[in-house]
Structure formats: structure tokens, C-alpha cells
Amino acid sequence: MNENPQVNRRVTGTTGSTGATVAMGFVLGALVGAGMALLVAPGTGKDTRKRLVATGRRWSAAARSTFQNARDTASDLKQDAMSAVEAGREAFEENRKSQEPSPASRIERKV
């Protein structure tokens, strides 16, 4: 068996614990918890359905809000990264131009 973790990740397709893995665990836990609550909750079927609909709407609104916030944050990060890359490119070009010898100094070196 290969002891190199980089190779093992490529072979197995796993990269360890990621945000998506944690989120999936949270969602599955919430679903199991909701199912258990339905099994032990006193109330009529009609009341339970009403509570399920209300809870589903609340969760849906919360998920939309969270997703929009994540999109906004990702967009801001993308803009910041693009600005940083552009600033770095400009600084590199400026530095390169300041390091280039003038045409007159090139002629003097040849002589």
C-alpha cells in the first residue's frame, strides 16, 4: 500500500473533512432528529402536517438566506482576489520596467 497521503487521496477520491461533508452530516442529523420528533410527538396527523409545512417553510427561507449570503461572500472574495492579482501584475510590470537598462547604457556596455 502506498504511504503517500497525496497519492492515497487521488486514488480513493477523498480529501478528508470538508465543509460539504460537515454540512451533509448536519443535514442528515437534522432529518433523523425531525423523524424521531414525529414518532414521539403527541398530536393529530393534521396538526403534525401543519407543523411540518411551517417548519419546512422556515428552513427553506433560512436556507435561501444562507445560500445568498454565501454567494455574496464568494463574489466579494472573487473581486478581492482579482484586484490583488491585477495589483500584483501591475507591480511586477512596474518593477520590471524600472530594472531594464536604458538603450544608451546597452550601447555603452558593448563598446
Q: Which SS3 state, helix, strand or coil, does residue 3 take?
A: coil
Q: What is the pTM of this model?
A: 0.44
- CA 87 and chain centroid, separation: 24
Mean pLDDT across the stretch 41-47? 79
pLDDT over threshold 50, residue 7:
no
CA distances from 90 to 39, 66, 82, 98 (A): 63, 36, 12, 12
pLDDT for position 102: 65
Higher-pLDDT residue of 7 and 75 is 75
- Residue type present at position 9: R
